[in-house]
Structure 1
Amino acid sequence: MKADEPIIFSKLLFCIQEINTDEELVASSKEEPICLQRGTYYPCVITNCQHVDGLALACHSTCAAEGLPSSKTLEVTTWDPGFELPIAQSADLKRHLASKRASRRDLVRSTLQAKEKMIEASSSQVKTSSRIWATYVKLHGETYVSALSNNHGDDLVYDPGSKAIEDIIYVRRGPLGVKRIVVACSTETLEMENHPLDWWQVLPLVEDSVLHFEFDGLKLRNIQEAERGICRPALWSAPFCRKDLIRFIVTHSSKPSRFNRVKINDPETTGYSVAWNPFQLALKIVRHTAADDLSCYAELPQDMTTWLHFPMGRGEFLQEIWRREHTHCCRTEIDLVLVTTAGRVHVLGKHPIPGHTYVHTRITALRREPDYIYIDDSAGILELALNPAPPEIEDPFGSLNLPVSTSQYPKGTSAESYFYTSASLDDLDFLEPCNVNGVTTGVLLHYCDGSRAVVGQVRLDRLSNKQHVPRDATIRFVITRNIAQCPKVRGVLVLTADMHEQIPPVNDGLELEVACQGRLEWWYTLRQCQLAYEGRASASVV
């Protein structure tokens, strides 16, 4: 490897932190591990590159200043395949390290301290017919399982002679390996501390079987039940075993499923929000309650994320989940559609483009009772696991009444597609505009009967002051164009008859003023929006 040659590396990081583009690295080629060179990291842009396993072992040059890495130390600090952080968790690692006040160099020093304990990587096994002992080791301030044995160890994790009914093994795994093993009864609920970067693997405890495990030289990487040959076990955000769950594939993936859980159809639920971006479509689903801390919004980059909010009324539940498939420009897009018991239909994606074909298939019906839905959102929403309601005899395949716009699909010079929302303006009590960086992205509408609806994009952490709506009032949407001539709502004014002369229109021809009756439609993207009401529309899109 020559100096200044671009480095293609196999995700081997000395300090477990990410490598950024144009960052200076120290690397050694796999053929000559002693020959160190400085270089710059450039991500490979070739699809299905033949060098997927990398050409070099690399670390940050600042890390190398603490001590030179070896292939053995780099293998110990390699993240397991399938543990890449989804966008929705990209901030978790930084917050976790910040809470421990662990700098990049602190992590390197911890790795070097553990270097003396490192030996050759290997694989081994234990029998479930005998006692199983675990031994532990520390790395980066975290405890990992370093060995399993039928003879000795620091902790007795399983005793076949115990009178306890134990039929399940929970394995807590982090990106760097196995952290804990818990043998339990599958019918019991375990209360365990939540670790945002860790996942739980569930294995059956079979009498007189063998557990196989891989050892990276310092700690266990994975465990599997040999007789069943589980190569890609599902991972869960909490330790539990529910045999009533049925898994539904949304989009196929070659990586292990990682399920986060979301509580649904609970009386305390006030609504759901869905994070969406143009690369992975729906990223995650969040449940809201009256006591919600709204921390979900800080987990995702604001400039690339659209938040779709769906309020739930009193006694309203999620009833069905549908799958929508659309192929355009050689790309197939999969979106989910949620149907509530109140007949409301929420599309977790953009409005259908006129002339395009969309195929809708019902995934499942939901029970009208509190439960959890388990969602693999490691790279967008890939898979669901839940206990479905039995199919209805009268309508086993279901029927879907999708939102239909009365206004025309916005026509601009760009090729972008639009989200669509609409809501009634009758019997309004008050409204709450959502303001992000000086732009009103949407409005949360409250009605006199206590129900709510949304137009536009609404984030609950960006709602401004409530504006009460008298029966004879009108609502004016103040709209301006930015430097790119994209129309954006800059304010929402509730005006009574005596206020019109005092507050004349600011941008005549761009704004839209509506009566408190009829239906308001709101088309939008991250760049611009267009509102429509009874045949009239706000400023045209570009």
Structure 2
Amino acid sequence: MELEFRDPEWAPPRKDFPLWGLYHSCILCSFDFTRGEPVISYEVDTAPIASIFPDDSRVPVPLCHPECVTLATPTLLPDGRLDPDIAHLNYREGRIDEPEDPCGARLRWLQDSFAHNLFEILRGRLPQQVCRNIATHCIRERAVQVIQEQWLAPGRSQKGYISVPIRHGVALWAQYIRFEGKRCIQSFSYESRGGDEEMLLEGNSRGPLNIFIRQHSLGIDKIVVTEGTESPRAEQVEAYWWTVYVQQNPIFYLKARYDGIKVRDLVLVKSSGDFLNFRCCLGPCEVLWAIPPTVVKYSPKIPLPIGIGETFVRSFEWNKPGTLGYSFVLCSDIVLQFNSHGIGHPAAFDEYQVFDPNEITWLYFPMGPDERVSELWLRQYPEKNATLILVTDQGRSLVLGSQQHEPGATYHPIARLPHDKPCSMLYAHAFILTWIHIDAVSTWENPQTRQIHPDWRSDFNDIYTSAKLDGLRDVTPCIQKGPFVWGEGEIITGLLLTYYDGSRSCIGDVRYDRLGTPEKVTSDTMWIRYVEHSDVVVPEGEYYAVDVGIEWFGFSQPRASSYFHEESNTTSEPDSSTDGTSEEDDSVDEGSPAARWVRLPQYLTVPLRGRLDWAKSPDSSISVLSHHERSEPNDEMLHVLSEDVKLGRAESVVKSITCLLGDISPKNLEDFAKDAAKTDNYDTFGL
């Protein structure tokens, strides 16, 4: 069947595989391959080739499971060759915000629909539970069957590109189809056709329009058109995102790729000869929103990453009911990810696991049962750097970045969060800048800045954490598993401390999903085993340069004996000890290759009084541990808040706030603006 609204300006090439032709899953069933698994590869116009899935996670040709090929023959592979259109049909757009969930909605739908069909075919002769049990073994079969049903449906149009003109006085309708249980737009029309359809545009609009397009991994499932400053109300849904074009004057064109079943990659352009290719790193950057934003001109504008086809604007809620703590993924003073943790909260998705772990820091900030984040502050080194700081209603604070390390920093509050409800925030990052926005919050027109002159001086430009040691009940390690450069094993990157009064604190790099087993405090001393980083000059006193993390901690003195890291036992009593010295194993020749794998331990004895500081380098594997008799930490915000109380503040106002974190130097901001101007990126979306 001829494709309606076929775009005369664009024709897909014969070899038109998505995502630069990189595949990691079967194009028939869409389940991932495992290393060493038999596969069949298909190039366009060539015979299939049997091979083994390589160590690489993505390969440049379409691949299938041999079992799926058997299921698809002869209906989808009538002459033994793959129709290249099928690769487009079932390809799932990979978004960095979307976690892989093998037990998620797709798997459940495939199982449920197979069980339902089997029960109907057998007319109830098998119980439904038996049908469901059978379905668990037929997931690939059902996935291939879905393609067969819809690919072979009568009247199906061939794939191609479409261009739908939108003009004054013309109504627009969308027709829908369900693919693997997900609702997808199949086609557009200027009149009603019945069935599952929806009127998108009545045709009587005269002013500028706002187009909100919601997508998922298989296509477009919703379009909302508004006028003026109206935006749709919608909750955040995992694995769905919005593309927004605001204040668009008809005439414009909706352009998209039709994969043979449904519409994908829908964009809005102002000329019939234009097309937006977000897959091209030299073109514009697609701005994806977790929820529909308000129709405003943001200032400062969202920083768009250079050379990357998309950026994601996430939604985050402060003081959500049941919050037990927050975690933050940092790259120096850039906040890459905000997470809340508590009963009923979804687990944080680690999209930065492919980064160098030395460049990423996870800070965990435990909250008391009645504690809430009350204010957000900004620390600025004018025309250099900006850092976000949290302040709670119990006087605690957390700097989301490095410690103050040079004079000239100013501090001012940017938001007072509601005390009786959660507060929603939008944020995005471009790796060296973070953008945050809150729509309606108490703030100040011209907040007074504060400067401090503390009686302590920071010796390191590090991410500083501190915890008191008095009243300690148990300690929980955050464990990172290898491989490391010296081999397999485990390293403790941080500690979660719990006190007898129920309060908690954290030091080091702590990920909530990597917490180990709590170790009960059984003495008045803690021993820590670590490997010294000899290239670091530390101040005089109880300062210890640590490479990567600590290897063990405990509350009974270790026994004397040699130790190799391969034995990796992070909390139980080890087989080595010297107090503050290291022991070498004479059996290992210094010149042998094995010597490179030996980590020679040092031991640190920490009395459980005062405090323990853990300063982590933001861009290397180095940390510095130090013990201090004074319990109070070097908290820069204590001085700032004390001065703030003395001087008072002006009256607050309720309005939106937008600010940037990270490198705010004029040159850096100018570079981002120039790059966005080259691709007309802000004007494309009306930002």
- Corresponding residue SS for 2:22: coil
Q: Decide which moves more: 457-466 or 219-228.
A: 457-466
Contact (CA 8 Å) 1:250, 1:384: kept in 2 or not? no
Q: CA deviation at 1:419?
A: 6.1
User: In the alignment, is residue 344 of structure 1 matched against residue 392 of structure 2?
Assistant: no
2: CA distance between counterparts of 1:365 and 1:90? Answer: 33
Aligned to 2:294: 241
User: 1:202-351 counterparts in 2 under 5 A?
Assistant: 202-204=244-246, 208-216=250-258, 217-227=260-270, 231=276, 232-241=285-294, 243=296, 246=299, 247-249=301-303, 251-264=305-318, 269-275=323-329, 283-289=336-342, 291-293=343-345, 295-296=347-348, 307-312=362-367, 314=371, 316-320=373-377, 337-341=387-391, 342=395, 344-348=397-401
Q: CA deviation at 1:266?
A: 6.0
Q: CA deviation at 1:533?
A: 1.2
Instruction: Report the identity percentage.
Output: 16
TM-score between both structures, scaled by the size of structure 2: 0.54
One-letter amino acid of the counterpart of residue 610, structure 2: G
Return closer, same or farther for 1:306/1:242 CA change in 2, 3 Å cut-off: same
1: CA distance between counterparts of 2:146 and 2:452? Answer: 56
User: In the alignment, is residue 119 of structure 1 matched against residue 158 of structure 2?
Assistant: yes
TM-score between both structures, scaled by the size of structure 1: 0.67
User: 1:45-444 counterparts in 2 under 5 A?
Assistant: 57-62=61-66, 63-65=68-70, 66-67=72-73, 68=77, 69-79=82-92, 83-86=93-96, 89-92=98-101, 95-101=104-110, 103-116=139-152, 117-127=156-166, 129-153=169-193, 154=195, 155-158=197-200, 160=202, 168-183=210-225, 187=230, 190-192=233-235, 195-204=237-246, 208-216=250-258, 217-227=260-270, 231=276, 232-241=285-294, 243=296, 246=299, 247-249=301-303, 251-264=305-318, 269-275=323-329, 283-289=336-342, 291-293=343-345, 295-296=347-348, 307-312=362-367, 314=371, 316-320=373-377, 337-341=387-391, 342=395, 344-348=397-401, 365-369=414-418, 370-376=422-428, 383-387=435-439, 393=446, 420-425=464-469, 428=471, 430-434=473-477, 436=479, 441-444=493-496
Q: CA deviation at 1:138?
A: 3.0
- Corresponding residue SS for 1:249: coil
Larger radius of gyration: 2
CA deviations on 1:408-467 (whole Å, 9 max, x unpaired) are 89xxxxxxxx865323335x4645423548876533345688864311233445365585
One-letter amino acid of the counterpart of residue 69, structure 2: A
Q: CA deviation at 1:272?
A: 1.6
Contact (CA 8 Å) 2:187, 2:262: kept in 1 or not? yes
Contact (CA 8 Å) 1:420, 1:522: kept in 2 or not? yes
Give unpaired runs (5+ residues) of structure 1. 1-7, 46-51, 325-333, 410-417, 496-502, 536-542
Return closer, same or farther for 1:122/1:442 CA change in 2, 3 Å cut-off: closer
2: CA distance between counterparts of 1:363 and 1:112? Answer: 61
Aligned to 1:507: 577
Q: CA deviation at 1:236?
A: 1.6
Return closer, same or farther for 1:176/1:391 CA change in 2, 3 Å cut-off: same
- Corresponding residue SS for 1:148: strand
Q: CA deviation at 1:219?
A: 1.3
More helix by proportion, 1 or 2?
2
Q: CA deviation at 1:84?
A: 2.6
Aligned to 1:493: 555
CA deviations on 1:243-263 (whole Å, 9 max, x unpaired) are 375544285453222222111
1: CA distance between counterparts of 2:455 and 2:366? Answer: 16
2: CA distance between counterparts of 1:512 and 1:40? Answer: 50
The alignment covers a number of residue pairs equal to 476
Q: CA deviation at 1:345?
A: 4.4
2: CA distance between counterparts of 1:199 and 1:487? Answer: 38
- Corresponding residue SS for 1:151: coil
User: In the alignment, is residue 531 of structure 1 matched against residue 625 of structure 2?
Assistant: yes
Return closer, same or farther for 1:267/1:108 CA change in 2, 3 Å cut-off: closer
2: CA distance between counterparts of 1:400 and 1:224? Answer: 50
Q: CA deviation at 1:521?
A: 1.8
Q: In the alignment, which of 31, 49, 54 is matched to residue 37 of structure 1? A: 49
Q: CA deviation at 1:145?
A: 0.6
Q: CA deviation at 1:121?
A: 1.0
1: CA distance between counterparts of 2:307 and 2:338? Answer: 19
Contact (CA 8 Å) 1:258, 1:378: kept in 2 or not? no
User: In the alignment, is residue 519 of structure 1 matched against residue 611 of structure 2?
Assistant: yes
CA deviations on 1:88-129 (whole Å, 9 max, x unpaired) are 644236634433356445333322332232413131315363
Aligned to 1:476: 526
2: CA distance between counterparts of 1:402 and 1:244? Answer: 40
Contact (CA 8 Å) 1:202, 1:241: kept in 2 or not? no
Aligned to 2:649: none
2: CA distance between counterparts of 1:395 and 1:250? Answer: 30
1: CA distance between counterparts of 2:497 and 2:311? Answer: 38
One-letter amino acid of the counterpart of residue 11, structure 1: L
CA deviations on 1:60-81 (whole Å, 9 max, x unpaired) are 24343334331111122344xx
Q: CA deviation at 1:518?
A: 2.9
2: CA distance between counterparts of 1:17 and 1:319? Answer: 43
- Corresponding residue SS for 1:109: helix
Q: CA deviation at 1:360?
A: 9.3
Return closer, same or farther for 1:394/1:147 CA change in 2, 3 Å cut-off: closer
Q: CA deviation at 1:37?
A: 3.4
Aligned to 1:14: 27
Return closer, same or farther for 1:506/1:75 CA change in 2, 3 Å cut-off: closer
- Corresponding residue SS for 1:110: helix
Q: Which has the higher contact order (CA 8 A, sep 6+)?
A: 2
Return closer, same or farther for 1:448/1:9 CA change in 2, 3 Å cut-off: closer
One-letter amino acid of the counterpart of residue 238, structure 1: I
Contact (CA 8 Å) 2:170, 2:204: kept in 1 or not? no
- Corresponding residue SS for 2:145: helix
Return closer, same or farther for 1:78/1:399 CA change in 2, 3 Å cut-off: farther
- Corresponding residue SS for 2:222: strand
Q: Decide which moves more: 398-407 or 122-131.
A: 398-407
Q: Superposition RMSD on alpha carbons, in Å?
A: 5.4
Aligned to 2:125: none
2: CA distance between counterparts of 1:149 and 1:351? Answer: 58
Q: CA deviation at 1:312?
A: 4.9
More strand by proportion, 1 or 2?
1
CA deviations on 1:117-150 (whole Å, 9 max, x unpaired) are 2413131315363332221223333221111111
